[in-house]
Amino acid sequence: MTEGISEPISYRRHWDRTEPFDPPAVLGELVRTRPLTRMVYPDGHIGWLATSHDLAREVLSSQAFSHRFHTTHAPVTKKGEIFPSVPIVPGGFIHMDPPEHTRYRNLLSSEFSARATRAYAPRVAELATAQLAQVREHGSPVDLLPTYVRPLSLRVLCEVLGVPFAGSPVLSALSDSATDDQVSIEAEREAGTQAYFHLLDLVGKARVEPGANVIGRLAAEPGLTDREITNMLLIVFAAGFASCEGALASSLLALLHHGDQLDTLRSAARIGGASGIEGMVEELLRYTSVNQFQIFRTALSDVELGGELIREGETVTVALPAANRDPAKFGCPDRFDLSQDASAHLAFGYGVHACVGQQLARLVLAEALTSLVLGLPGLALDVPLEQVPVRLKTPVLSVLRLPVSF
């Protein structure tokens, strides 16, 4: 029997993307016709897939759903295989529920608040300018991934956290191994171990001499062990770097492919600088929606959702790219249109686990795009879109090379 959307859909279908900008077509169908549908998980569990904006917010903000790893049926590797069960480590807050989660989260929320992030703006602009100088020095044509997108995302995160840039390859290797579907689980684990010990060493140093950065302040926090701090940092780095790099690269690709929108953004940046394009950054986040799968929660008890009974223990996956294309929420859901109000997008998730670094991510995108479009007025893709390599089927959509001329 061919799998229609009236049958439970298989797990793979919801992230089986074939286009760099558009989520799998089945998601567009589901959000319009059956926003809560049954889905077969890799371990055989028949759970759910939520695709609408309303349901996404309901699941992600409800205490009836847990993010604890061991309750879920969803953990799969980047290749879609069942993930070996892993214990929750001290400080591993991303897979904890309140109130356990709250303690760690509060410590980080103050580090990445809107106010704290505003203070980083001049330095992020400075870093973008310095990186742009390197792009110019390289000359046209150039691949913007290794010359601009990656080093800028990495430098900002390293400075904010307090990781010396010289040691950053150990951390970017962790991120690369986690997102590259060709890397084995063993190699990914090894990269994780290396990154852990690198950060542990920095935490040890910060205990003696705390710097004015995230590591320094966490090290000065009473009651946190080195292991807790290191695991918190690992999460921040792993969650932050790939998403930031992926969002910046995908945003640039979308702008370069839609020349009229690039002109619109450039005009706004010319008038208002990075703050003049803040609203447009929201549309870029909505349209690109780089965190395309592995957003899931599991019901802690029987709970009603969208007119269905979700039974205790059933896992609901939330398709953020689908929710961000929900016609009930956005005027032109499938069009990239910088003039539309996209501020209600869910690219950063929602609820207690919503992206803690979202203000920093917005700042990096606004400063990086402003610097580039004003600094390189003739910026254009150097190859046809089809020749830009994009990893389509990994949890974070990643553009692998971005060849441009200027």
Instruction: Kindly list the residues in this chain that would bind ligand HEM in the complex (CB under 6 A).
Output: 60, 93-94, 105, 112, 235-236, 239-240, 243-244, 247, 290-291, 295, 320, 347-349, 353, 355-357, 360-361
Q: How far is the CB of 269 from ligand HEM (least distance, A)?
A: 18
The least CB distance from residue 222 to ligand HEM, in Å, is 22
The label of the residue with tokens 């904006």 reads 53
Choose between 91 and 240: whose C-beta lies nearer to ligand HEM: 240
- Do residues 170 and 382 touch, judged by C-beta distance below 8 A? no
Q: Please, are residues 320 and 295 in contact by the beta-carbon 8 Å criterion?
A: yes
Q: Provide the β-strand partners of residue 48.
A: 38, 316
**Per-residue DSSP letter, 299:** E
Nearer to ligand HEM, 28 or 91 (CB): 91
3-state secondary structure of 304: strand
**Closer to ligand HEM by Cβ: residue 60 or 195:** 60
141 upstream amide cis, omega within 30 of 0: yes
What 3-state DSSP class applies to 303? Answer: strand
Closer of 136 and 393 to ligand HEM (Cβ)? 393
- Considering the complex, what minimum distance in angstroms separates the CB of residue 384 from ligand HEM? 26
| Closest residue to ligand HEM: CB criterion | 357
Nearest Cα to 347, choosing from 368, 366, 326? 326
403 pairs with which residues across the strands?
Answer: 143
Minimum CB distance to ligand HEM, residue 1 (Å)? 33
Q: How far is the CB of 56 from ligand HEM (least distance, A)?
A: 10
Q: State the nearest-atom distance from the C-beta of 114 to ligand HEM, in Å.
A: 13
Residue 158 and residue 165 in contact, taking contact as beta carbons nearer than 8 Å: yes
Using the minimum distance from each CB to ligand HEM, give the nearer residue, 288 or 382: 288
Q: Which is nearer to ligand HEM, 21 or 382 (CB)?
A: 21
Secondary structure (H, E, C), 67-118: CCHHHCCCCECCCCCECCCCCCCCCCHHHCCCCHHHHHHHHHHHHCCHHHHH
